Amino acid sequence: MKVAIFPGDGIGVEVIAQAVRVLEALGLPGLTLFEGDVGAAAWRRHGHPLPPETLGMARACDAILFGAVGDPACDGLVRHLRPEQAVLGLRAELGLFANLRPAKTFAGLEDMSALRPEIASQIDLLIVRELNGDVYFGEKGMRTTDNGEREGWDMMSYAESEVRRIAHTAFRAAQGRKGRLTSVDKANVLETSQLWRDVVTEVSADYPDVALDHLYVDNAAMQMVRAPGQFDVVVTGNLFGDILSDQASMCVGSIGLLASASMGERTTEFGTFGLYEPIHGSAPDIAGQGIANPLATILSAAMMLRHSFGREDDAARIEAAVARALGEGIRGADLGGDLGTAAIGDAVLERL
């Protein structure tokens, strides 16, 4: 069981350290961790945010545990050298098209939601975000037009096959949950979304046991705060999924709680290859202070054990330790408490 550990930048380094402690504490036989450079850290050391040696390490491992990338000092770099290209490059190069972002309110955290507690307590949803297409990976550019004005463009598109495969992932996920799937698009305006809606509807014929409905993304954003308990599985494109998942995080209390798995089709002798990361970024505003919440990354490690290594018991053990810690009042600054990153890691380890 080979895991590539890519801490990255800012709080990525701090939160990964706690997830590694948790993994090591489990004492899993045959688990080997390799560390690699990504993001601004890699750009400084190797001149590229995703150097060939890092990509090679990723391919040679069975799973990746990723911290976060991003550094304001790199915002002026040409796009292909910016830190964010590390995570985008890994997703594209490794064919990780299905991004699973669960959001569930932990018992005891209802008061920390940006929503009223009685609304927050109902949240148990899974966002299935397409990760290899959309406006993220279309042709893009900036130019000066004939009249001297600057113009930027990013091409949004989805191929039928891309929609079909993520739709199957989402329907299967719904079958394993409450059997409800909401597809989110902007079909009233965008052709990309009309195709999305048509293909998702076609795929639904294979899943008569799943109740499908469609929402426009603006309405979905509103419903997510009005009555998030209505959602079970939400399937959507790359851009809408990015935005809705950050929104979902505050509905359950903090962006420092949301884990994710990015999966493709590659299997290993242990399970499905995947990249696991918190949904948050490098948080330059709090980096270096030791106050970042590491729970999203620890929960991402649990998802890794479940999906890439078939170790459901160990995954559940981590999740139970996190739930107990939160239930017993363990809180970082993001949840109104005063515990630092390492102290939160300690609290999880004590309860493992």
Q: Write out the residues near ligand IPM by the rule CB under 6 A.
A: 84, 87-88, 242, 279, 281
Judge whether 57 and 4 are in contact, CB under 8 Å: yes
Q: Confirm whether 158 is a catalytic residue.
A: no
Closest CA to 184 of 131, 244, 226, 98: 244
CB within 8 A of 343, min separation 6: which ones?
none
- Residue 89 site contact among ligand IPM, Mg ion, ligand NAD, none (CB < 5 to 8 Å, cut-off depends on kind): none
Q: Which residue is nearest to ligand IPM (CB)?
A: 84
Does 232 contact Mg ion by CB under 5 A? Answer: no
Instruction: Return the range that interacts with Mg ion (CB under 5 A); candidates 29-37, 87-95, 238-246, 318-326.
Output: 238-246
What are 15's strand-pairing partners? none
Q: Which of 37, 242, 314, 334 is catalytic?
A: 242
- Residue 256 site contact among ligand NAD, Mg ion, ligand IPM, none (CB < 5 to 8 Å, cut-off depends on kind): ligand NAD
Cα(135)–Cα(139) distance, integer angstroms: 8
Judge whether 237 and 220 are in contact, CB under 8 Å: no
**In this complex, which beta carbon is closest to ligand IPM, that of residue 228 or of residue 281?**
281
Cα(142)–Cα(154) distance, integer angstroms: 9
Distance in Å, CB of 237 to ligand IPM, minimum: 11
In the block, residue with structure tokens 């390799």 = 34
Q: Confirm whether 136 is a catalytic residue.
A: yes
Q: Confirm whether 186 is a catalytic residue.
A: yes
Burial class (CB in 10 A: 0-12, 13-18, 19+), 46: middle
Residues that bind ligand NAD (CB under 6 A): 11, 15, 68-70, 84, 87, 255-256, 277, 280-286, 292-293, 296, 334
Enumerate the known binding-site residues for NAD(+). Answer: 281-293
Hey, which residues are catalytic here? 136, 186, 218, 242, 246
